[in-house]
Amino acid sequence: MMLLYAVVPADATPPEKRGLHGHRLETIRGVLAAVIVEESSEGLRATGDESRAFAEIICDLATTTSMLPIRFPTMLPSRSAVLAELQANEAAWRRRLTELDGLAEVVIHAHEAEADHELSSVTDGSGTTYLLNRATAIHRREASVAEISELVRAWTREIKVLHPQQGVRLACLVADADVPQLRDAVTTWQEARSGRQAVVSGPWPVFSFVGDQETVSR
Amino acid sequence: MSDAAERWSDDQVALVDLIDRVIGGGVVITGDVVLGVAGVDLVYLGLRLVLAPAHDVEQSVALGRRSA
């Protein structure tokens, strides 16, 4: 079985790394793009530790080449199956690789104490009260998404709204060089009003912007 | 909050984001996965998506119910 890691340009330098199962990573090349794989007879346990180890390998690979990460865990039965996928998709993948060259993903978490209070009161009462509170919470969240999207608009190429634990969570596609300015803008936004909290994670490989998922804004 | 506590919190957020994106983002290819425990292969899955963040699964279930 072949465990798939990432799509890279056809002329990418072969990685000098080992995969999850300790085997050397290989590059299966097409004309326009290539796929980095690890051949292994072992199955996956798909644990958090494996997910984390896979993520670390992807982040490591992303420091050496532009790439489209492949969702974990994806395994194909043979080299020829990987090649078939590559041939079917390499034109679109190459196009996206070119568009994403020099870009990274950062994730912004933001929430306000006031909004949390409204969300926590959603369960109070019943019927009309519940619906009104719920609508207020949703409107506040939408307003926060719009506000933060506008705040970081100068540095972002695409924005995707991710499911948050609380508040809002936005994946932003940003030029590598612009990540510090985006972080500074978010910090300034946080400090402008008490009760606001914001965290920026990344820069990560472009997990949320590989091209087959819907994006918002811009 | 102390700097150390704040840094820990940011690291935790980063780790959750990273794992969430690894299993919830990226190129989707129809693949096969053999899941195993303690070296024994337990389940063979020929699915588009095997692992997903819980919220994605909840969303899919809700959409399925709505369209049923």
Report the residue of A1, A8, A72, A173 to disrupt the B interface, i.e. the one with the largest count of B CBs within 10 Å.
A72
**What is the b/e burial string over A100-113, where b = at least 16 CB atoms within 10 angstroms of the residue's CB?**
beebbbbbbbbbbe
Task: Point out the residue among B9, B32, B51 whose CB comes nearest to the CB of A76.
Answer: B32
pLDDT in tens, B6-64: 444 778 888 889 998 998 889 988 665 555 555 555 555 554 444 555 555 566 556 55
Quote the ipTM score.
0.81
Q: How confident is the model over A86-112, as a mean pLDDT?
A: 93
CB contact under 8 A, A72 and B29: no
Asked if B46 reaches chain A (Cβ–Cβ under 8 Å), the answer is no
- Rg of chain A over Cα atoms, rounded to whole angstroms, equals 21
Write the residue in B13, B24, B27 that is nearest to A7 by C-beta. Answer: B27
Q: Cβ separation of B29 and A75 shorter than 8 Å? A: no
Task: Please say whether the beta carbons of A103 and A174 come within 8 A.
Answer: yes
pTM of the model: 0.80
| Intra-chain end-to-end CA distance of chain A, in Å | 40
Rg of chain B's alpha carbons, rounded to an integer?
A: 17
The distance of B60 to chain A (nearest Cα, Å) reads 13
- Asked if omega into A205 is within 30° of 0 (cis), the reply is no
Token duo for residue A135: 């609508």
Using the structure block, give the residue that is written with the tokens 């982040």.
A59
Give A60's pLDDT tier (boundaries 50, 70, 90).
Answer: very high
Q: In B, which residues are within 8 Å of A59 by CB distance? A: 18
